[in-house]
Chains A and B, each alone.
Chain A
């Protein structure tokens, strides 16, 4: 497999993000695999930002451990990225903006291009410095200019012919600049790939599942879900920006109770505000989907950095006990399918389903070859038959599997009250004047058991609540969940290449967990736990569910996701 990691570094407002997206799009259209990530800060202008695009000829699982090609648009770009350069890195810089003196003497290939001058000559907009650099990169990695032209025509056509022309001119001048030559030889297969971020894939999965209502309050890194729904509001999905996350989730519960598939999303801080209503959804058995995209905590923490430290929080948030489902997509592609599945699970078990994302999976972009739209089937769960309406409708009928057929407002003869108080089968509350009276105490017990029984039903009817295992015959196993699975997967390949026998156990459906099957899978294996948090929360869950302790842990909490190289290095020392 051949791959190259390209990083563009500059200040916020220099167009780094869109350049990375553009470069990725060109490679994806050329039939290459792409995995990209970005580093940014909670500022709108200034600061130091970077966007890294890794291009390869096989499926990629990380954005690369070091920089093979660096484009530095300012001095910070050289100073801050120097430590990440690979041994033979190529550094493209603008001599008018910075110097590369501190890089001289090493094995780097330094290419000085007057990016700004060329951009100004091509069309006049300084932001097109990026495009000149992209032109040079295309030459270096062997992507024909025509592919770039095709993408620019598509992406910029709304901005007018002039913009398209000047961009093509800028890229051509970079491509043909003296001293720029083909160095890498990465071949695309000619089949265009989808290129998207986790949040976009999640939004698309929800859309494909018939989600019609999304409510949110802006919060990084969940905001791009909001923007997706807002941009597609004329395509049958209503987006409601609310005054806070409390209103977001409560309105989602209202919409779900009224019968539409509904979702809300936020990060940990906003989820903290949603916690009380999460319990409401559990109590009135409203099928909602909640996205929690984690960032570095506690409190405001590092708003633009990633972490996996909310796992135990989402599993236990809200007072009392009620069934809930927690899923954590392991890739951009899986975010699509899990989002779609979340709606079926919510409807089938009439409970909240939490999609646990994190900044890394929400915001990094990846190529996906195909989305199997036809595999998405819509299952609305048990719906009461209005033809059978007689007398008062028992919305919370005590059933064997714990699931009571539901009706929605507007259905004739099937009205009911959905109360946050404990209630009987009709939804009449047994809390206030009736609390403590024998027959109502009995009802409380029956109703609580009815709700909780849904967990047993989930475990009985679904086969998803077990971890996934790869290289089953291996001696050692990396254990992880959600977004860190990708790097772990790449690390497994690297460790095996080193002659070590290593497999992977990854969790995507985390709650409920089939403890028996999970225990059987984990038992008598050397396990190495990998998580982006301090307290090894997944290991705690495993301990709680199976009694198996995992003393070997690779934990990271500096705000960046764990890389393949870090896993390989630390896991190697744990394998004795």
Chain B
């Protein structure tokens, strides 16, 4: 029997919210991989999507807006035997938390990061998000967005993420596969998810996505080749958002931060013994 990853608390999503699909996909990924839920840590930020952690019956940290990646990093470095999954939204990760997104990616820490990208700020009732489409009118941009949308896939590839994929919450089965591969991938994995906000985003609706998305065929491009991956990643802009590819964009094998860190060569920090008296004396004596 698969483990139960729910704790009985219902997510606060609106009826029809795309994030339900992400919740289902995450649950399926955990079940398929049969991850020990006592060894699973889900870390989220703040926003509609981040409240997802409240519904999981594993360990969780529902942290601050934009700060889930450093919190997740600290936990992973303290105990890298844990499976650490970061989950958040586009405002959380690509806006206020963008510095952490870049730097956690470049460190290649073995964390899986799932971003529910609805191209709007939902919980604050519909302001422009970093991935919002140019011209789109929101509460904070009544005359239309004049900034260019951030391309999280290209940014992640450029920053040094070693697994970059995109899914659609309307296709949880496909999404679950991408998440599963992200979790089993050794290194920093980004899974960006088109996850429609049915309340505040009147532009990027299920239908809008469905008419534009398509799944990349396995041999469409060499996923190990950065240039080819980047080329696919900028297809959104190059087609004026008419064609939005889904699937795995980039994957490469590189040592993880935990494998390279000198302190962690002796195993997870939490399992390393406390400092011995001899060692403390030795450190003190450096000053005599």
Whether A and B are associated in the same complex: the answer reads: yes
In chain A, residues 222-256, which have Cβ atoms closer than 8 Å to a Cβ of chain B? 232-240, 242-244, 246-248, 250-256
Please indicate the chain A residues that have their CB under 8 angstroms from the CB of B76 in the complex: 254, 258
Nearest Cβ on chain B to A87's Cβ, whole angstroms = 35
In chain B, residues 64-96, which have Cβ atoms closer than 8 Å to a Cβ of chain A? 64, 67, 69-79, 81-82
Partner of B43, one of A234, A242, A254, A374: A254
A238 x B264 contact (CB < 8 A): yes
A215 x B59 contact (CB < 8 A): no
B269 x A433 contact (CB < 8 A): no
B67 x A250 contact (CB < 8 A): yes
Nearest Cβ on chain B to A22's Cβ, whole angstroms = 14
A192 close to chain B: CB less than 8 A:
yes
In chain B, residues 143-170, which have Cβ atoms closer than 8 Å to a Cβ of chain A? none
B126 close to chain A: CB less than 8 A:
no
B71 x A242 contact (CB < 8 A): no
Name the residue among B37, B60, B70, B270 with the largest chain A CB count within 10 angstroms.
B70
Please indicate the chain B residues that have their CB under 8 angstroms from the CB of A413 in the complex: 38
Please indicate the chain A residues that have their CB under 8 angstroms from the CB of B207 in the complex: none
Partner of B74, one of A200, A234, A258, A420: A258
B58 x A415 contact (CB < 8 A): yes
A511 close to chain B: CB less than 8 A:
no
Chain A: CB-nearest residue to B58? A415
Name the 6 nearest CB pairs between A and B, nearest first.
A254-B74, A251-B74, A258-B78, A250-B70, A419-B62, A247-B70
- Interface 1/0 per residue, B12-45 and A, CB below 8 Å: 1000000000000000000000000111010100
- A210 and B273 alpha carbons, distance in the complex (Å): 9
Say whether, besides A204-B283, A247-B100, A421-B62, A378 and B274 are in contact (CB < 8 Å): yes
Chain B: CB-nearest residue to A407? B59
Say whether, besides A28-B288, A276-B64, A412-B38, A243 and B100 are in contact (CB < 8 Å): yes
- A243 and B261 alpha carbons, distance in the complex (Å): 17
Please indicate the chain B residues that have their CB under 8 angstroms from the CB of A239 in the complex: 263
Please indicate the chain B residues that have their CB under 8 angstroms from the CB of A240 in the complex: 73-74, 77
Chain A: CB-nearest residue to B45? A420
Say whether, besides A247-B103, A254-B75, A417 and B61 are in contact (CB < 8 Å): yes
Partner of A409, one of B41, B102, B269: B41
A410 x B274 contact (CB < 8 A): no
- A255 and B41 alpha carbons, distance in the complex (Å): 12
Partner of A250, one of B60, B63, B283: B63
Say whether, besides A251-B74, A284-B61, A236 and B266 are in contact (CB < 8 Å): yes
- Interface 1/0 per residue, A412-427 and B, CB below 8 Å: 1111111111000011
- A467 and B214 alpha carbons, distance in the complex (Å): 69
Name the residue among A257, A276, A284 with the largest chain B CB count within 10 angstroms.
A257
Say whether, besides A207-B283, A250-B74, A432-B12, A258 and B67 are in contact (CB < 8 Å): no
Nearest Cβ on chain B to A32's Cβ, whole angstroms = 13
B193 close to chain A: CB less than 8 A:
no
Number of B residues near A (Cβ < 8 Å) is 58
In chain B, residues 172-204, which have Cβ atoms closer than 8 Å to a Cβ of chain A? none
- Interface 1/0 per residue, A315-340 and B, CB below 8 Å: 00000000000000000000000000
In chain A, residues 422-472, which have Cβ atoms closer than 8 Å to a Cβ of chain B? 426-429, 432-433
B78 x A193 contact (CB < 8 A): no
Name the residue among A233, A238, A239 with the largest chain B CB count within 10 angstroms.
A238
B275 close to chain A: CB less than 8 A:
yes
A243 x B269 contact (CB < 8 A): no
A251 x B287 contact (CB < 8 A): no
A290 close to chain B: CB less than 8 A:
no
Please indicate the chain B residues that have their CB under 8 angstroms from the CB of A432 in the complex: 12, 51
B277 x A373 contact (CB < 8 A): yes
Please indicate the chain A residues that have their CB under 8 angstroms from the CB of B273 in the complex: 236
B225 close to chain A: CB less than 8 A:
no
A259 x B39 contact (CB < 8 A): no
B72 x A409 contact (CB < 8 A): no
B41 x A258 contact (CB < 8 A): yes
Please indicate the chain A residues that have their CB under 8 angstroms from the CB of B79 in the complex: 258-260, 408-410
A415 x B57 contact (CB < 8 A): yes
Say whether, besides A253-B71, A259-B270, A420-B46, A235 and B279 are in contact (CB < 8 Å): yes
Please indicate the chain A residues that have their CB under 8 angstroms from the CB of B1 in the complex: none
B217 close to chain A: CB less than 8 A:
no
- A114 and B180 alpha carbons, distance in the complex (Å): 73
